[in-house]
Amino acid sequence: MRAKRLFDILFSAAFLAVVSPVMLLIAIIIKLVSPGPVFYKADRAGKDFTRFQMLKFRTMSVNQDPIKTITLREDPRIFSFGRILRKTKMDELPQLINVLKGDMSVVGPRPEDYLIAFRMFSGPYREILSVKPGITSPASLLDYMHGETVSSIDEYLDRFLDLRQSLNLRYVQNHHFLWDLSLIAQTAWTILQISLGRKRFRYPAEYQCGNQLER
């Protein structure tokens, strides 16, 4: 774990040093195109149910609509520049600060909303919170490639939730440094493809650990 933490610090510090001008530009554009704060701070469940605030660039208009824990395709709350940030995953760059602080890791299970975590991580899935959550993981890639193709929360829960949990648990029980590096590379490649316009992805064999997608 010490080696993983050392990697997290070195990776996030180096990446922040490179992308800090881009982050400053993003912050300025957000302030110009949408009234409200630059960052969105989300209450998330970390390792051992520790509560922390996960940082993201704000991609939605500030209004009085009820907060939703799942964002679906064509969500009307997302402003135009926010869609670009979400498509390229640049909205998640501030999470590198969470990694430096020790709230998160570069690779690990996606952090869930704190208020629903106690329901989601019960029984065997409680083991998922034995490690720090991460910016990317097999379950995060599943969401990025396929999650926003669904049109309703019921469809999302029916098709993805159990599979996500199974993938998270599999990662926690089997993760190692080379797998982390592979996931980082796969995430970068996927972001590039989606940024260039790719919309459909096949489900890799490693994702078919249940029958949720064979309908």
The angle, 0 to 180 degrees and rounded to 10, between the axes of the packed helices 2-33 and 177-195 is 20
Q: What is the pLDDT of residue 73?
A: 55
On whether residue 215 sits in a domain, the answer given is no
d(CA 188, CA 131): 23
- State the Rg of the chain over Cα: 17
Q: What is the pLDDT of residue 213?
A: 40
- Report the Cα–Cα distance between both ends of the chain, in Å, rounded: 39
d(CA 80, CA 84): 7
On whether residue 53 sits in a domain, the answer given is yes
Q: What is the pLDDT of residue 198?
A: 87
d(CA 43, CA 160): 22
On whether residue 213 sits in a domain, the answer given is no
Interval 124-142: pLDDT, tens: 999 999 999 999 999 999 8
Domain of 156, in residue numbers = 2-207
Amino acid at 185: A
Among 61, 55, 202, 73, smallest CA distance to 135 is for: 55
pTM for the structure as a whole? 0.86
Extended beta strands in the chain, E state = 39-45, 51-57, 105-107, 134-136
The larger pLDDT score, comparing residue 59 to residue 71, is at 59
Phi and psi torsions of 44, nearest 5°: -130, 155
Total domains in the fold of the chain: 1
On whether residue 28 sits in a domain, the answer given is yes
Q: What is the pLDDT of residue 20?
A: 97
The larger pLDDT score, comparing residue 151 to residue 182, is at 182
d(CA 60, CA 73): 13
Least confident stretch, 163-167, 170-174, 206-210: 206-210
Q: Are 102 and 2 in contact (CB under 8 A)?
A: no
Q: Are 138 and 206 in contact (CB under 8 A)?
A: yes
d(CA 36, CA 81): 14
d(CA 154, CA 76): 18
On whether residue 137 sits in a domain, the answer given is yes
On whether residue 40 sits in a domain, the answer given is yes
On whether residue 152 sits in a domain, the answer given is yes
Q: Are 53 and 42 in contact (CB under 8 A)?
A: yes
On whether residue 117 sits in a domain, the answer given is yes
Percent of all residues in the chain with a pLDDT value above 70, rounded to a whole number: 82
Amino acid at 10: L
Percent of all residues in the chain with a pLDDT value above 90, rounded to a whole number: 63
Interval 10-42: pLDDT, tens: 999 999 999 999 999 999 999 999 999 999 999
Extended beta strands in 29-116, E state = 39-45, 51-57, 105-107
